[in-house]
């Protein structure tokens, strides 16, 4: 029997949440979480390094376990959920996508900076050829005008994407800005529209609800808020809220609550909350996955991590420029020394 769903939720704790544990997920952890999500009725579960397929590296952080092993393990315990993978062209390759598809991944989300959709053409085309459900993922959506977002989304649609997402990577969008963006895409595209939020300004839930009001049918959530920065829209809370609104997700509320409390909470190094650093991410409009890298640099150079993040925001850095964090930290130390002398 096919479950009726008004909104399709993709659970990202095993991908976006990888940032929280410095990419140290074990096979056992992934199996436990994926099995419970599957039993709760979650339709899509995303599994990759936090920075997508092949993200395990010195620049982004090495994984504890090869992500292909994690993907294969999750697929082996899921009866109804489809496994999704994230790929950032330039980090992941066409071959990485083929390997994931061969293991049984059913959805590919091809992520680019909001102004760089053109680099996704080959990967979207390959994913479609491999028979995968294909999603265009426009990151840092706050950093471009609505007209540019629409232009880039139309490119992804033309390449064959089944869905295009507005991705609030920095958790910087305000509700009226989400409304403008989702509404514009709904009017311009013939395909489904999705939304991925971060909670750095405590607006993930509000922004998600606005996105749904404007017609977004694909929504990302993270159990126990397990995601970069202050985390994502909290899946179990979202399911409860949508149930109250009469919007069907097909997810069992008690089961998703139980797995959040009993399986995911113990994995978290600390409860997800809006700290001063994650708040600055949203305020300055900085990529959420830069948080831990900035904290490490601040500790190493003896400066305030907020100063690093504010400077990164001024420079409008994007995903893939993590190497600039150390450069900025060094410059701030040098500047401080000059002032003091």
Q: Give the number of other CB atoms < 10 A from CB of residue 266.
A: 10
pLDDT of 24: 84
199: helix, strand or coil: coil
| pTM for the model | 0.91
Confidence check: pLDDT of 285 > 60: yes
Alpha-carbon gap, residue 296 to 156, rounded angstroms: 36
- Selected from 1.10.8.60, 3.40.366.30, 3.20.20.140, 3.30.70.1450, the CATH number assigned to the domain covering 289-340 reads 1.10.8.60
Alpha-carbon gap, residue 282 to 231, rounded angstroms: 11
Confidence check: pLDDT of 340 > 70: no
pLDDT, greater one: 138 or 316: 138
Alpha-carbon gap, residue 84 to 45, rounded angstroms: 6
pLDDT of 2: 57
Fold of 8-267: TIM Barrel (3.20.20)
Burial 289-300 (b: 16+ CB within 10 A, else e): bbbbbbbebbee
Confidence check: pLDDT of 14 > 90: yes
> Residues comprising the binding site?
15-16, 169, 196, 198, 287
Confidence check: pLDDT of 261 > 60: yes
pLDDT in tens, 208-260: 999 999 999 999 999 999 999 999 999 999 999 999 999 999 999 999 999 99
Q: Residue ranges per domain, the chain?
A: 8-267, 289-340
Contact 223, 260 (CB under 8 A): yes
Question: Which tokens go with 196?
Answer: 């991925």
> Residues comprising the binding site for Mn(2+)?
16, 196, 198
pLDDT of 290: 83
- Which residue among the candidates 19, 23, 49, 123 is catalytic per the annotation? 19
Confidence check: pLDDT of 66 > 90: no
> Residues comprising the binding site for substrate?
15-16, 169, 196, 287
Active site residue 113: no
Characterize the bridge pairing of strands 82-87 and 163-167: unpaired
Question: Which tokens go with 214?
Answer: 């404007």
- What mean pLDDT is reported for the chain? 92
115: helix, strand or coil: coil
Q: Angle between the 290-301 and 324-340 helix axes, to the nearest 10 degrees?
A: 40
């Amino acid at each position: 029997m096919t479950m009726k769903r008004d909104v399709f939720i993709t659970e990202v704790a095993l991908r976006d949440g990888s940032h929280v544990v410095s990419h140290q997920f074990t096979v056992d952890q992934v199996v436990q979480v994926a099995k419970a999500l599957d039993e709760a009725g979650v339709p899509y579960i995303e599994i990759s390094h936090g920075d997508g397929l092949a993200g395990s590296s010195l620049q982004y952080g090495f994984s504890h376990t090869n992500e292909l092993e994690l993907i294969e393990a999750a697929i082996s315990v899921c009866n109804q959920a489809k496994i999704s993978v994230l790929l950032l062209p330039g980090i992941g390759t066409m071959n990485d996508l083929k390997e994931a598809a061969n293991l049984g991944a059913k959805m590919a989300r091809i992520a680019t900076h909001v102004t760089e959709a053109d680099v996704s053409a080959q990967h979207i085309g390959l994913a479609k050829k491999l028979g995968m459900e294909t999603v265009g993922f426009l990151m840092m959506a706050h950093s471009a005008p609505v007209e540019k977002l629409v232009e880039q989304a139309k490119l992804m649609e033309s390449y064959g994407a089944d869905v295009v997402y507005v991705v609030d990577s920095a958790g910087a969008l305000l509700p009226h800005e989400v409304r403008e963006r989702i509404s514009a895409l709904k009017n311009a595209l013939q395909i489904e529209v999705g939304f991925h939020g971060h909670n750095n300004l405590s607006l993930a839930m509000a922004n998600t609800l606005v996105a749904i009001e404007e017609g977004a049918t694909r929504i990302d959530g993270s159990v126990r808020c397990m995601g970069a920065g202050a985390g994502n829209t909290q899946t179990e809370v979202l399911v409860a809220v949508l149930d109250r609104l009469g919007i069907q997700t097909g997810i069992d509320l008690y089961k998703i609550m139980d797995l959040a409390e009993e399986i995911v909470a113990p994995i978290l190094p600390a409860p997800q909350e809006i700290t001063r650093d994650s708040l600055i991410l949203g305020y300055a409009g900085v990529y959420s996955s830069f948080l831990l890298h900035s904290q490490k640099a601040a500790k190493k150079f003896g400066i305030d991590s907020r100063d690093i993040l504010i400077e990164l925001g001024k420079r409008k850095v994007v995903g893939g420029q993590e190497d600039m964090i150390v450069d900025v930290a060094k410059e701030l130390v040098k500047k401080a020394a000059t002032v003091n002398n």
